[in-house]
Amino acid sequence: MKIVVLDGYTENPGDISWSPLAALGDLTVYDRTSYDESPRIRERIGDAEIIVINKTPISPATMDACPNLRAVAVLATGYNTVDAAYARKKNIDVMNVPGYGTDNAAQYAVALLLEACSHVGLHDRSVHAGEWTESADFCYWKRPLIEVSGKTAGIIGFGRIGMAVARVLRAMNVRVLAYSRSERAEGRALADYVPLDELIGSSDFIFLHCPLTPETEGLINAARISQMKDGVIIVNNGRGQLIVEQDLAAALRSGKVAWAAVDVVSAEPITADNPLLNAPHCIINPHIAWATKEARERIMQITADNVRSFIEGHPQNVVNR
């Protein structure tokens, strides 16, 4: 069985092993191929039956050009870079890795909030630059510090990650509101389910943990921002396309939104003309909420299990059947 990894570097920059996949067939690993439609993608797939990807796009044209292809194993939970519906028509299984990083994503979401409220990194850089040494006072702060306790957080999308965030926030004495397509008993124990408009208008902090769909694309836009509290903080380590970035940048400049803290943007790597780059009070990280070594080791093992199950004829974690 020929297996090709098209963009393996972010999963494994050298600190873990490809051996779980290598044990399953003739494995070729490329660090990077292309984040855009490219003939190189088809060339590197060649006659492989299984490909492993993270963010390399797999289009209908690519699938048509690679007739041996039978399975796409995605090194992530999200699989929007693959045309899964067309893959189904071609009898190509698309497999993902669900649930590998719930605690990592929750940890990072809260870290983004705390950076916006406490400015730990800003003050560390200030001290190392000599500002404390030269200070006339025993302490100083370069930005207003915000107390998290006693505030209200609204979480849009209340699945595994949203609920994990809620558990942390409740331990910090934060009231949690949730908006979700479905309600669960587990969720009701952690938050008050409310309509989206109520969540938008009542929250001091808004977290985005919903999937990217045609209905949620551009969910945070000028109209919704206008309904928010003055001085709201928006945290997004879900999908960049959930936010209309030009609208958020304008709200940051006006002060309507006090801070935005994001780990994802609409086009990744971020483009030089992204409006958030020049917006005030905007923390941007390079899509790393998922990337602890522990989480990447889980991704590797689950992906290997997915490939093994496909080879053995009982595929698991198939998202397009």
Catalytic residues, by residue number, are 239, 268, 287
Residue 244 and residue 220 in contact, taking contact as beta carbons nearer than 8 Å: yes
Instruction: Give the separation between CA 61 and CA 319, rounded to whole angstroms.
Output: 20
**CA 88 to the chain's CA centroid:** 25
Six token digits for residue 8: 């393996």
Residue 122 and residue 143 in contact, taking contact as beta carbons nearer than 8 Å: yes
Sheet holding 282-284, edge to edge: 192-193, 175-179, 152-156, 205-208, 232-236, 257-262, 282-284
Name the nearest CA neighbour of 199 among 172, 222, 227, 230. 227
Which sign, positive or negative, has the C-alpha torsion 208, 202, 152, 116? Answer: positive
Instruction: Give the separation between CA 50 and CA 58, rounded to whole angstroms.
Output: 12
Instruction: Give the separation between CA 22 and CA 9, rounded to whole angstroms.
Output: 16
Residue 92 and residue 72 in contact, taking contact as beta carbons nearer than 8 Å: yes
Alpha-carbon Rg for the chain in angstroms: 22
Residue 7 and residue 31 in contact, taking contact as beta carbons nearer than 8 Å: yes
What is the enclosing helix (H) or strand (E) of 235?
strand 232-236
Instruction: Give the separation between CA 206 and CA 251, rounded to whole angstroms.
Output: 14
Instruction: Give the separation between CA 315 and CA 115, rounded to whole angstroms.
Output: 42
